[in-house]
A and B are shown apart, each in its own frame.
Chain A
Amino acid sequence: MIVALLAVPLIGAVLAFVMPWERPQRAILVAAASAHLALVIASIIEPPGSLLDGWLRADDLGLYVLLITSVLFWVAAVYAVGYLQREASDPRSDWVDGGLFSNAPQGVFTGYLLLFLAAMTLVTVVHHLGLLWVGVEATTLTSAPLIYFHRHHRSLEATWKYLLVGSVGIALALLGTFFIAVSATSGDGTAVPMVLEDLIAAADSLDTTWLHAGFLFLLVGYGTKMGLAPLHTWLPDAHSEAPSLVSALMSGALLNTAFLGILRAYQIVGATGDSAFASQLLIAFGLISMFVATVFMLLQNDFKRILAYSSVEHMGIVALAVGIGGSASSGAMFHVMNHSLAKGLLFLIAGNALAFYRSTSVRGARGMLKVLPVSATLWLIGFLAITGTPPFGTFFSEFIVLQAIFESGRNVVAVAYLLMLALIFTAMTAVVLRMVQGTPLIATTSRVREPLSSVVPPALLAIGVLVSGFYLPPTIRTLMDNAAVLIEIGG
């Protein structure tokens, strides 16, 4: 089953690369995404056995992240069909500096999308820390060409920053992995295998100094990929220059998989019973990320960049919640899902707005309600969801986290958390309402036709994040709770 999960996107990628016509390429993308989603659901119902001495294993935490990834990928794939149809392949004028640019061949784009899915799947099912590193690095390399889909200067600059910052971060994570391997080697030279379950079982015999150093490096390394401030510098550029469906995937899926890398290390540190150091690091990184995001969101004029900083904020919330522990852990798991749904929705709608207005500035994209009524409505819904307004799922997850912070007695942290959420709410309000209302700068008399493929996929995500506030299917609820138990430390 695990092999099939990895093989489906890989085979799809190969087919997309060799397929010379564009229409079948899109069919392959949607077919592979659907098959992948079906396989993920099947493995949640009937958990697959482990492979390669436990190197590949689908535990509840991995499956939970994989489910979010797969759902979001499926939605993005359906959106991509319409998006790619409307993207002209011949050179056209760049709206910022007027130069000509063309797109990457669509087969290459769909192929890399599927490879990206395969890499993210690998991260979620791998339990060997070395192979986990290989998987996270593979997600960087397969997503870099996706950012450079529109072949112009700005996307190239974003790609370079992403590659360099991401690779350096991940190199540090490799050093962290080696440090953990040192802590797992005993005086007579025998070593505990670098498999998660073995390390947790042998937690008492691990050398704490090296383990803590290893956790720090893994946090910095994978944290770079996850977008924790101050290591987030690549993120706003990459998210604002990538095609919107890629931004949706990076924000909603890639960041979670990088976070999973940190959680794996946290599981090991937690098993030693001496996790205060790691928890405090997570809390500190979480608060710094929220603070940096708040500052940059308050002064933001670019609607794709504000979404990118919002991802920094939400990753901060999740890191903070995991560091707090106790019931905040389940809040963190719940929030991961809600954030992915809401952010996917927002980025897809941002793509619609960008396609019509040809501008990412808030000022240039006014009057959405007049010209793109459906997108404008979804944009409003997404905004309410991402800022944690009731009755959306995000409200409940952010509330659970707040409650847990108070319970842990960290009142200052709780006040800071609330204050930053409020400031971010005002920042987002300013951007979203200015875009939705007003008269468009572009002279159009009537509303434009909004194709179904551009509004139905985000609408599905909107329903998802709304429903998650009231009801979760029992299977998913169990999966989420079990995942939270795996990372729950202290409290």
Chain B
Amino acid sequence: MEYLIDFMLILALVLGLACLGLRRVSQCVWAAALQGIVTGILLLIVHDEVEIGLIVVVASSIVVKGLLVPWFLTRTIKTGRVEVEVEPYIGFNLSLVIGGLAFGAALWLAIALTLPFEIESELIIPVSLATAFIGLLTIVSRRKAITQVAGFLILENGIFMFGLVLVAALPTLVEMGVLLDLFAAVFVMGVTIHNINRAFDHIDTSRLNQLHDKLPSRRWRMPRNGARQREAVQNDQADS
């Protein structure tokens, strides 16, 4: 059983890294969705006893993260005629290197932070923290709003995987609430993306830059320009 858990964890990590390396927006969305399914299955494997509540959480998590969310996002990509390229701020190879380094850092962190109790697999904490970091990296290093939502999903998957160490402490009701909120968040984000696409004809968040503090820096420069102009005028007069 432990090998299976480790295998699934590594699979989830690879899917997260894949999203950093994939060049098409829709591929990245599907990588995040598959990762969602993997984390759902992980929850089922980690539990010793299978109860009704657990099955409901696992099933709804797979349906929500693996089917509903990617279906909704790919539909937004299609109806919005979003260009397929991811367009990163940080290149694909560099992103992958950073992702790998993050896993290394997470391994070190997992050794430093000892858990007060036994868990199913030593890999849960490093993989979950690294996945959460990969999600954050995807959000900050990608221009397209859809890719950012995929990054948000990966971040949530990472946190969800961390929740695997807490099988005893977290009641089903809370897990359901978390899942419902996640879905609602992605849904609201999707609707907003749809609106952004309709209003701006793009979903490039680097071009969402109308709102900022209009600080009077230009006003400070003006006198200097004025002085220079006066100088120029005086020079002209002197020349003539």
Residues A181 and B170 in contact in the complex (CB < 8 Å), given A154-B211, A174-B159? yes
Chain B CB within 8 A of A167 CB: yes
Which listed residue (A130, A189, A241, A302) contacts B117, Cβ 8 A?
Answer: A189
**Smallest beta-carbon distance A244→chain B, Å:** 16
Q: Which chain B residues lie closer than 8 Å to A158 at the CB level?
A: 211
- Chain B 122-159: CB-based contact to A (< 8 A → 1; otherwise 0): 00000000001000100100000100100010011001
A296 (CB) vs chain B CBs: closest residue: B213
Contact across chains for A163 and B205 when beta carbons are under 8 A apart: no
Which listed residue (B162, B174, B189) contacts A130, Cβ 8 A?
Answer: B174
Contact across chains for B168 and A185 when beta carbons are under 8 A apart: yes
**Smallest beta-carbon distance B116→chain A, Å:** 5
* Chain A 152-203 interface residues, beta-carbon cutoff 8 Å to B: 152-154, 156-161, 163-164, 167-168, 171, 174-175, 178, 181-194
- Chain A 110-142: CB-based contact to B (< 8 A → 1; otherwise 0): 000000000000000000101101100110110
- Assuming A141-B184, A141-B185, what are 17 further A-B pairs, CB within 8 angstroms? A131-B173, A134-B174, A153-B200, A156-B195, A156-B200, A160-B205, A164-B139, A168-B139, A171-B152, A175-B159, A186-B116, A190-B168, A207-B116, A236-B211, A236-B213, A299-B216, A302-B214
Chain B CB within 8 A of A408 CB: no
Q: Which chain A residues lie closer than 8 Å to B10 at the CB level?
A: none
Chain B CB within 8 A of A240 CB: yes
Which listed residue (A141, A154, A163, A194) contacts B181, Cβ 8 A?
Answer: A141
Chain B CB within 8 A of A69 CB: no
Chain A CB within 8 A of B227 CB: no
Q: Which chain B residues lie closer than 8 Å to A144 at the CB level?
A: 188, 192
**Smallest beta-carbon distance B127→chain A, Å:** 14
Chain A CB within 8 A of B178 CB: yes
State the CA gap A194–B177 with chains docked (Å): 15
Q: Which chain A residues lie closer than 8 Å to B139 at the CB level?
A: 164, 168
**Smallest beta-carbon distance B107→chain A, Å:** 17
A137 (CB) vs chain B CBs: closest residue: B181
Chain B CB within 8 A of A237 CB: yes
Q: Which chain B residues lie closer than 8 Å to A137 at the CB level?
A: 181, 185
List residues of chain A with CB under 8 Å of any chain B CB: 128, 130-131, 133-134, 137-138, 140-141, 144-145, 148, 151-154, 156-161, 163-164, 167-168, 171, 174-175, 178, 181-194, 207, 209-210, 213, 236-237, 240-241, 296, 299-302, 305
Contact across chains for A185 and B166 when beta carbons are under 8 A apart: yes
Q: Which chain B residues lie closer than 8 Å to A190 at the CB level?
A: 168
Chain A CB within 8 A of B196 CB: yes
B177 (CB) vs chain A CBs: closest residue: A134
Residues A185 and B117 in contact in the complex (CB < 8 Å), given A131-B177, A137-B185? yes
State the CA gap A185–B148 with chains docked (Å): 34
Which listed residue (B116, B136, B181, B200) contacts A183, Cβ 8 A?
Answer: B116
Contact across chains for B166 and A301 when beta carbons are under 8 A apart: no
Q: Which of B165, B177, B184 has the most CB of A within 10 A?
A: B177
Residues A189 and B208 in contact in the complex (CB < 8 Å), given A141-B188, A175-B159? no
Residues A241 and B211 in contact in the complex (CB < 8 Å), given A160-B192, A171-B159, A181-B169? yes
Chain A CB within 8 A of B52 CB: no
State the CA gap A394–B239 with chains docked (Å): 64
Residues A160 and B211 in contact in the complex (CB < 8 Å), given A144-B192, A174-B159, A178-B162? no
Q: Which chain A residues lie closer than 8 Å to B188 at the CB level?
A: 141, 144-145, 163
B176 (CB) vs chain A CBs: closest residue: A134
**Smallest beta-carbon distance A370→chain B, Å:** 26
* Chain B 82-103 interface residues, beta-carbon cutoff 8 Å to A: none
Subset of 9 A-B contacts with CB under 8 Å: A167-B152, A167-B185, A168-B152, A182-B166, A185-B116, A186-B117, A191-B169, A210-B116, A301-B216
Contact across chains for A164 and B148 when beta carbons are under 8 A apart: yes
Which listed residue (A160, A187, A241) contacts B116, Cβ 8 A?
Answer: A187
State the CA gap A154–B199 with chains docked (Å): 10
State the CA gap A215–B200 with chains docked (Å): 40
Chain A CB within 8 A of B50 CB: no
Chain A CB within 8 A of B113 CB: yes
A144 (CB) vs chain B CBs: closest residue: B188
**Smallest beta-carbon distance A86→chain B, Å:** 25
Which listed residue (A175, A187, A302) contacts B162, Cβ 8 A?
Answer: A175
Contact across chains for A209 and B113 when beta carbons are under 8 A apart: yes
Which listed residue (B169, B173, B177, B199) contacts A156, Cβ 8 A?
Answer: B199
Contact across chains for B159 and A178 when beta carbons are under 8 A apart: yes
Contact across chains for A156 and B196 when beta carbons are under 8 A apart: yes
Residues A301 and B214 in contact in the complex (CB < 8 Å), given A130-B170, A141-B181, A185-B168? yes
